[in-house]
Amino acid sequence: MGVVTPLPRSAPGQTGFTRRELERILDLYGRMVAAGHWRDYAMSFERDYASFSAFRRAAERPEIRVEKRPALHSRQGMWALIGEQGQLLKRGHELGPVLAPVERRLVKLVGG
């Protein structure tokens, strides 16, 4: 049986994902891995943002990056989906609609 390592608690002043947010992101990541599209991921936790990056191969830049920036909560929304070239694909107040373009791509990968 594998060893379960708990995620470290957020340091004071550090932005992180809640368990529910991380479950949602990792669920999508797992389905993309099962479809054979993604192979690796990375997470970054800074003072003003947290990001989740998904890679097709480990030695390249991320295909997508999901960022949480709480300071933008009252403006455009704290969630952002950023593409491989750094372009902003989607921004919003809720995680689900921000992940929708990737969900649609998954349906295309699996369906056809």
Range of the domain at 70: 19-111
Asked if residue 111 has pLDDT above 70, the reply is no
Asked if residue 12 has pLDDT above 90, the reply is no
Asked if residue 54 has pLDDT above 60, the reply is yes
Kindly indicate the confidence band of residue 27, based on its pLDDT and cuts at 50, 70 and 90. very high
**14 within a domain of the structure (yes/no):** no
Asked if residue 8 has pLDDT above 80, the reply is no
**25 within a domain of the structure (yes/no):** yes
**57 within a domain of the structure (yes/no):** yes
Asked if residue 64 has pLDDT above 80, the reply is yes
Torsion of CA 25, 27, 32, 33, to 10 degrees: 110
**73 within a domain of the structure (yes/no):** yes
Write down the mean pLDDT value for the chain. Answer: 87
Share of the chain above pLDDT 70, in %: 88
**83 within a domain of the structure (yes/no):** yes
Number of domains in the chain: 1
**2 within a domain of the structure (yes/no):** no
